[in-house]
Each structure stands twice: as structure tokens, then as C-alpha cells.
Chains A and B, each alone.
Chain A
Amino acid sequence: MKAAAKAGKEKKNGYGYDLIAYTVYAFLYLPILIVIIYSFNKSEINVNFTGFTLDWYKELFSKDRDLWQALKTSLLLASYSTIISCVIGTFATIAMHRYRFPGKQIIENLLYIPIVIPEIVIGIAFLATMSMFGINMSMTTLVISHVTFCVPFVIFTLRPRISGFDASIEEAAMDLGANQWHTLKRVTIPMLVPGIIASALMSFTLSIDDVTISFFAAGPENTTLPIKIYGMVRGKISPDVYGQCVIIMLGTIALVAAAMLILSANARRTKRIQSN
């Protein structure tokens, strides 16, 4: 009887927590909902919903809107930065995990700089230095600046995973005669793949949504989508920008859903193989 009462009470508390969770999610998603609704709104002034229309989507696709160019720049930038930061970050993580060497603590402190110093300072400093060397801002400078803030996140995401490894697997490989490079290629890196995927997602997310650093590191030729939107958002936003956002959102959700399907299919297959 008492146990049942306790269970009931816990259930009730569970609903309380759900209520909190749903309230916060409402706070997070309310403006997104508004963006979706307004992308279909007939009135351009946007206050009241005056009727359903697809005109903004037509406009988005008909005109040669530089919005798509900006999206392309952002996607390219995020891809380049993610690839470079994951490659150099993975090797650095392995080296810092495996070896003890002088200056390790200095590198450690170096990695915390982009995380603790406000982005605006890093962006400004980058801009000032590039102009000192007379280098014009381009896609290259954008990628360089983004890798600089992504690498530490890659390393810090990978580190807990690599320290959770069973060292004996690497040892076994070496005992069986694999040299360091082979061990790295055939054992260490394959074991790190889930961590590398997680850190790639992290870098991509950081890079694609970055306003502050891109603001200083982008040349006039390579405006990223956030910078493009920053230019508009202080004035009036035309609803086709909302339309593009909705399309990006749908694309993202499709990707996440596909990734989850693949993951769960993989998990099922592994289970089947194990049970066989």
C-alpha cells in the first residue's frame, strides 16, 4: 500500500518534470514556429496572418537570390573547417594521450584560449593581424579562423573517449608486430570513429552558426549566411529568408532522422551478429 502510494507520488513528480521540460521547449521553439508561419504569410508586414501563400518560396527560387550563394559559402566553410579541425585535432588528441613531453601544459593552456576568451576578441585580433600582413579576407582566411576555434572543441570532445580506451588492444597490436603507424591506422583511429563523428558534428554546428568571428574574417566576396542575415536583421527581413530557413530546417531534420535510422539499423545488425 505504502509502496503503491510512493509509486503514485513519483509518477506525479514525473509529470511535474515533464511540464518543466515542455515549457522550456516551448520557449526554445516558439520563435521557430513563428518563422515557419510567417514564411507562408500573405502580408509582408507580418503582424497578422492574412492568408496562406507560397509566393515567398517562389520568390526565393525564382530570383537569383544571393541567399543561396551565402548558404553555399556557409556549407563549404563549415565542411572545410570541420575536415581540417577533425584531422589535426584527432592526431593532437592521440599524441597528447599517448606521450609525455615538455611543453604539454603550455599546449593545454593554448587550447583553452579560444574557449574562454570572448569570440569578438579573437575575431578582432585575427582581422588586425591579417591586415598587418596585408592579407585580404577570403574563403581561406574564413576557414583559418574557423579551424582555430573548432580544433579545441574537437580535442576536448575526443579526449574523454580516448582515455576510456582499453590500452591492451593497442598493446596487443604492437606485440603482434604492428609498428606505431599501423597500430594508429588499424586500431586507434577506427576505435575513435564514434568520437570523431561527434566532434565533427560539433565543429560543423559551431561553424555554420557563427556570426562573430565570420563578421571580421569574411571578405566582401564570401558572405556567409549568418553574416548576410545579420545585415538584414537590423532592418526589415523579407519573408523569403524565413522560407529558406524552413527549407534548411527540413533538410536538417531529414538528415538527423536518416542518421538515427542508420544508427539503429547498425545497432540491430550488431545485436544479431552477437546473438548468432
Chain B
Amino acid sequence: MKKEKKKKVKNQNHTLPLLAMISPTVIWLFLFLVISLVYIIVISFMTKGPFGTIKWMPSLQSYIDFLNPVYLKVFRKSVEIAALTTVFCLLVSYPFAMALSKTTGKKKMLFMILLVLPFWINGLIRLNGWVNILRETGILNSLLMKIGLQPINFMYTDGAIVFGMVYAFLPFMVLPINNSLSKMDPALLEAASDLGAKKFRTFCRVTLPLSIPGIFSGTIQTFIPSLGAFYIADIMGGGNTMLLGNLIKNQFTSARNWPSGAAFSVVLIVFTLIVMKLYNKVGNPEDLV
């Protein structure tokens, strides 16, 4: 049957419809994505000219600049914060995704809507809500003072940045884990318990291994955006902590050193590609979306 269909499609001329359907997307991505990424790579090997211009003279200066300990520290800090964000997201998301996957029917629908709804409210305003709670004269500290405790400085620390990132990226960890947990056949759990496995053992031997694709996919979807999210570091870190995203943004805006901004972007691209390469070894790229 399948063969027959393939034959039928082949009999008709399909070059024209194929081109008509696929070329808008391909041309679009080529023009506005591929060319611009190639351009970034090219200018990263050029020299900085005066007043934010680019001098078309090949040099490795921007990459040598990156080896400056100040920038290397920024890079290390970004990776650390992204890693911490991912770990905390995973710790919060896993039990939550299990709770989601246990619900059914109307309640499940409500739970899913409640998970996506905050996205339609500006993310910066939601972060600002946290700022109002956590800042020095904020709600949490005034509560602490009311019960006779010393106010604590929560804001403008690395911890606050991680907190903000966990808040912003949590659904990206929850959704893929929930997906792989929901796909799991409940009969497997029954079988394990019929065979006498305790809850914990069933979890370790059945549930956890089956949800690995979701965990990997969620890890990628929180780790990579956390590397570049300059606005969260701005709001929660108050400009005290510079991450790779802030650094790149500054090179292009205030410092006006495009070649070095481009070189730092290339470093970020290469690092991302290495992470993806590792991911492809353990996971399936199709689980990413």
C-alpha cells in the first residue's frame, strides 16, 4: 500500500509543488539566519576600527582578547549559573511533572493551562514582582522584621540570578518531562508492583529511565537559554554580575567593539554546538521541541 502511494506521487510531476512549498521557508532561513551567522563569524576575525566601525583587516585579536582572565571569568560564571539553574529546574520540575502526569481529564487540562498562562503576562513584569518581594525593603523582609528577624539581602546576588532564571525557564523543563512521563504505559508500573517491586525501586528502575529523554530535552532547553539571558542578570543581579549575554550585548551597544562582540558570540555558538553534540550522543534531537 505504502509503495503504491509513493509510486503515485512519483508519477505526477512533483518538483514544482515541492519547490513552491519548501522554498519560502528555506529562502527565509537562508537570507535572515545563515547569512547573518556567517557574517558574525567573518567579522569576528576582523579588526576593530575607530568609532565602532569594522576595519576589514583579518586578525585574531578578538579571540586573543577573550583569553583575558576577566572575560574567562565571565564565561566560567555564565556556565556555572546556567548549570545551577538547570539543576534547580530539574529538582523542582521532576516531582511537579510527575504530579501533572498523574492527573487526568479536566483537571489535567486546567493544570496545563495554568502552566502556560503566565507566559502571556510579560516575563519582565513577573520578574519585577519577585524583585518587589525579595528586595531589601521588600515584602519578605518586612515580614521578617515584623516577626523580629534581621532583614536579609536576597537581591543582586548570583543566587538571585539563578532564582530568576529558574522562575523564567521552569516550564521548559516541566513540559518535556511531563511529555515523556505521560507517554509511559501505566501497565509497566503495575507489572513492577505485581512483581513485588517497592515504590522507590519501581521509580529507579522503570519511571526514571523512561523519562530520561524528557530530562535531557529539558536540560538543553533550560541550560542553553540561561547562557544568553542578559535581561535576567540585569534585573535580578542589578548589574553586579556580568554574564556572557551581558558581555556580548555590551560589546555591541556601549563598547561598540563589534569584532570582539562577534568573537564572543562565536565562542558561545561553539560551546552550544559542543553541548548539542554531547546531547546527540545521549538523546534524540526530535525530543527537543
Does B165 touch A at the CB level, under 8 Å?
A: no
CA distance A116 to B12 in the complex (A): 37
CB of A234 within 8 A of CB of B33, answer no
- Please give, as numbers and ranges, the residues of chain A lying within 8 Å of B118 by CB-CB distance: 28-29, 32
Known contacts A96-B22, A144-B32; A118 and B123 CB within 8 A of each other: no
CB of A47 within 8 A of CB of B137, answer yes
CA distance A39 to B276 in the complex (A): 43
Does A151 touch B at the CB level, under 8 Å?
A: yes
Across the interface, B37 reaches (CB within 8 A) one of A89, A125, A171, A215, namely A125
Interface centre among A25, A31, A132, A174 (most CB of B within 10 A): A31
CB of B26 within 8 A of CB of A211, answer no
Nearest chain B residue, comparing its CB with the CB of A156: B289
CA distance A252 to B15 in the complex (A): 43
- Please give, as numbers and ranges, the residues of chain B lying within 8 Å of A249 by CB-CB distance: 120-121
CB of A34 within 8 A of CB of B231, answer no
Main DSSP-derived SS at the B contact region: helix
CA distance A174 to B12 in the complex (A): 11
- Please give, as numbers and ranges, the residues of chain A lying within 8 Å of B37 by CB-CB distance: 113, 117, 121-122, 125
Main DSSP-derived SS at the A contact region: helix
Does A200 touch B at the CB level, under 8 Å?
A: no
CB of A212 within 8 A of CB of B231, answer yes
CA distance A89 to B34 in the complex (A): 17
Does B261 touch A at the CB level, under 8 Å?
A: yes
Nearest chain B residue, comparing its CB with the CB of A234: B234
- Please give, as numbers and ranges, the residues of chain A lying within 8 Å of B5 by CB-CB distance: 167, 171
Interface residues on B, range: 35 or more
Interface centre among B25, B32, B119 (most CB of A within 10 A): B25
- Please give, as numbers and ranges, the residues of chain A lying within 8 Å of B265 by CB-CB distance: 120-121, 124-125
User: Chain A nearest CB: distance from B95 CB in Å?
Assistant: 5
- Please give, as numbers and ranges, the residues of chain A lying within 8 Å of B229 by CB-CB distance: 120, 212
Nearest chain B residue, comparing its CB with the CB of A251: B120
- Please give, as numbers and ranges, the residues of chain A lying within 8 Å of B230 by CB-CB distance: 120, 212
CA distance A147 to B32 in the complex (A): 10
CB of A128 within 8 A of CB of B123, answer no
Does B28 touch A at the CB level, under 8 Å?
A: yes
Does B72 touch A at the CB level, under 8 Å?
A: no
User: Chain A nearest CB: distance from B196 CB in Å?
Assistant: 14
CB of B119 within 8 A of CB of A120, answer no
Listed A/B pairs (6) with beta-carbon separation below 8 Å: A32-B129, A88-B24, A117-B272, A147-B32, A151-B29, A234-B239
Q: Which residues of B contact A (CB under 8 A)?
A: 1-2, 4-5, 8-9, 12, 14, 17-18, 20-22, 24-26, 28-30, 32-37, 39-40, 43, 92, 95-96, 98-100, 102-103, 111, 113-130, 132-133, 137-139, 142, 167, 170, 220, 224-225, 227-231, 234-235, 239, 245, 248-249, 252, 258, 261-262, 265, 268-269, 272-273, 276, 285, 288-289
Q: Which residues of A contact B (CB under 8 A)?
A: 14, 17-18, 20-21, 24-25, 27-35, 38, 46-48, 87-89, 91-92, 94-96, 98-99, 101, 107, 110-122, 124-129, 132, 144-145, 147-148, 151-153, 155-157, 167-168, 171, 174, 179-181, 184, 205, 208-209, 211-212, 215-216, 225-226, 229-230, 233-234, 237, 241-242, 245, 248-249, 252-253, 256
What 9 pairs across the A-B complex have the smallest Cβ distances? A31-B129, A118-B228, A156-B289, A95-B21, A17-B99, A129-B36, A125-B36, A92-B25, A91-B21
